[in-house]
Amino acid sequence: MGHLRALTVDQQVGLLFVILFGALIVVSAISGLVMLRRSEEEGSSRHIRVKAELRAIWAGAIVFWLAWVSGALGATLLFAVFSFFALREFITIAHTRRSDHRSLILSFFIVLPAQYLLVGFRTFDLFTVFIPVYVFIAIPVISALAGDPERFLERNAKIQWGVMVCVYGLSHAPALLLLEFKNYEGRGAFLVFFLVVVVATAQRTQEGASRWLRRRPVARHIDRSFSYRAWAIGATTAAIVGAALYWTTPFKAGQALVMAFIAAGAGSFGEFVMKALKKDAGVPSWGNRSAITGAVGLLDRVAPLCFAAPVFFHSVRWYFQFRG
């Protein structure tokens, strides 16, 4: 690790992306060759799933590369756009009423840009309370002014949830990029990378574990595969991976282990919660109902991150402030 530490920060981050994209190219090439050798019908559904999965990972990797290359401003803008698309998907499925119109305008065109401006200017103290305090009081006021008492609580809850997950949660990813630690300046990209790897690991492991364990589901009406043991296996594996990656972060190995466990656990629970929301809305995914063309399903992809990012951000920040 010695000569790695001798490199400048930019070189280190650059190396990280070279490794990441190299691995992706190798994996894609291998899966492409495997697909070529198979006949058309055989395993076509798996084929499609693997292809979609690979494409999503590519997209994610490119996004993070762009976020890093474009610097603080670019990263913040990029995630703001993501928030916009995610919130659009959320509100589409949530079936708001006509009298919610003004509250929705507030959420999309005032709250969302304001939150990302706060991130961009690194006003982290206001940024952490802006939505849960000020916006959560403003939205019901605007809704009440619309003069429609029907399902008032439910309507407000829908919009507040959308803003919380899609704007507040996701805005913590660029915030990580901009967080400044002593002796760790400019390495926020590693922290985001750490978070994403750890959350994705937990997701995949949990999926695999639940298939292999075949436990009785905890909540069969929400998710037939979710069990405590699978969740624990996912989060623990993520913790071990996190500990192995400690050198990319400002943590020591033990700290990285705990941080990874917290972030990955939160992400997996978040995914579970989003499944409940989808079941409630009666849709299999956030992508548009009959996904023939153009359905993105962005929220399906970023949901675990939306939950993991704020928890991770605040535990990191709290921990480091605590130590002075």
Q: At closest approach, how far in Å is the CB of 142 from other proteins? A: 13
Helix ranges restricted to H, the chain: 2-6, 9-37, 44-69, 71-94, 101-105, 112-120, 124-129, 136-145, 152-162, 172-178, 188-213, 228-244, 253-281, 298-322
Mark residues 57-86: x for contact with other proteins by CB under 8 A, - for none. ---------------------------x--
**From CA 117, how far away is CA 188, in angstroms rounded?**
18
The answer to the question of residue 47 lying near other proteins (CB under 8 A) is no
CA 87 – CA 82 distance, rounded (Å): 8
Q: Does 101 bind other proteins (CB under 8 A)?
A: yes
Instruction: Select 88 or 314, whichever has its Cβ closest to other proteins.
Output: 88
Distance CA 86, CA 65 (A): 20
Report the distance separating Cα 306 and Cα 308, nearest Å. 6
Choose between 159 and 179: whose C-beta lies nearer to other proteins.
159
| C-beta of 92 vs 255, nearer to other proteins | 92
User: What is the x/- site pattern for other proteins, positions 232-251, by CB under 8 A?
Assistant: --------------------
Distance linking the first and last C-alpha atoms of the chain: 27
Structure tokens at 291: 């996904």
**Of the ranges 60-68, 71-79, 162-170, 278-286, which one interacts with other proteins (CB under 8 A)?**
278-286
Encoded tokens for 267: 């992400």
Question: What is the C-alpha to C-alpha distance for residues 153 and 171, in angstroms, rounded to an integer?
Answer: 26
Instruction: Rule CB under 8 A: choose which of 98, 182, 216, 221 binds other proteins.
Output: 98
96 binds other proteins (CB under 8 A): yes
122 binds other proteins, rule: CB under 8 A? no
DSSP string, 244-255: HTGGGSSS-HHH
Which of 87, 196, 256, 309 lies at the binding interface for other proteins (CB under 8 A)? 87
Least distance in angstroms from the C-beta of 63 to other proteins: 18
User: Of the candidates 43, 288, 317, 319, which one interacts with other proteins according to CB under 8 A?
Assistant: 288
Q: What does the angle CA 294 – CA 271 – CA 274 come to, to the nearest 5 degrees? A: 70
104 vs 264 by CB, closer to other proteins: 104
By CB under 8 A, residue 147 contacts other proteins: no
Distance (Å, whole) CA 31 – CA 236: 28
279 binds other proteins (CB under 8 A): no
Binding segment for other proteins (CB under 8 A), chosen from 64-72, 170-178, 276-284, 307-315, is: 276-284
Of 108, 130, 194, 272, the one binding other proteins by CB under 8 A: 108
Distance in Å, CB of 101 to other proteins, minimum: 5
60, with CB counted inside 10 A (0-12, 13-18, 19+), is: middle
Provide the residue count of the chain. Answer: 324
> Which residues make up the interface to other proteins (CB under 8 A)?
84, 87-89, 91-92, 96, 98, 101, 104-105, 108-109, 281-284, 288-290, 292-295
